[in-house]
């Protein structure tokens, strides 16, 4: 059994993205968006995503709708919906997210958004195949 004190684990990671657990149908990922940073506008055609915010403040943009987010908020992004999450506060925006099905390579660690983008473009951040 895998067990995480998820808020603590998420807040202790300075990495932009870190895959904590990958199953056959879902994946658990923690993210830290630095001050002034963002995830970047994206669309996951075959993945639903649920994001839960642990600390910091930001703005969620899903299908053109904008909402402020803070600790304790949860945002659902259905497959095929364009989205972005932007840090609007003075501290890192920390969250954990569940993808269904997995969206990243098992065990992937991306220290910065630039590293994550480069690996994705090179096809080196592919989810596990069944």
Q: How many folded domains does the chain comprise? A: 1
Q: State mean pLDDT over 95-101.
A: 95
pLDDT tens-digit profile of 20-57? 999 999 999 999 999 999 999 999 999 999 999 999 99
Look at residue 130 and tell me if it is in a domain: no
Task: Establish if 127 belongs to a structural domain.
Answer: no
Instruction: Spell out the SS3 assignment of the chain.
Output: CCCCCHHHHHHCCCCCEEEEEECCCCEEEEEEECCCCECCCECCCCCEEEEEEEECEEEEEECCEEEEEECCCEEEECCCCCEEEEECCCCCEEEEEEEECCCCCCCCEECCHHHHHHHHHCCCCCCCCC
Residue 20's domain spans which residues? 6-121
- CATH number of the domain enclosing 48: 2.60.120.10
Q: pLDDT class for 125, splitting at 50, 70, 90? A: low
């Amino acid at each position: 059994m895998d067990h995480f004190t998820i808020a603590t684990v998420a807040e202790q990671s300075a990495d932009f993205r870190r895959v904590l657990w990958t199953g056959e149908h879902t994946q658990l990922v923690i993210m830290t968006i630095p001050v002034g940073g963002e995830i970047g506008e994206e669309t996951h055609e075959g993945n639903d995503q649920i994001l839960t915010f642990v600390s910091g403040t930001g703005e969620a943009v899903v299908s053109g709708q904008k909402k402020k987010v803070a600790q304790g908020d949860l945002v659902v992004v259905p497959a095929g919906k364009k989205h972005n999450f932007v840090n609007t506060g003075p501290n890192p925006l920390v969250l954990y997210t569940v993808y269904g099905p997995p969206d990243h390579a098992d065990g992937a660690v991306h220290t910065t958004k630039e590293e994550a983008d480069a690996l994705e473009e090179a096809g080196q951040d592919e989810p596990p195949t069944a």
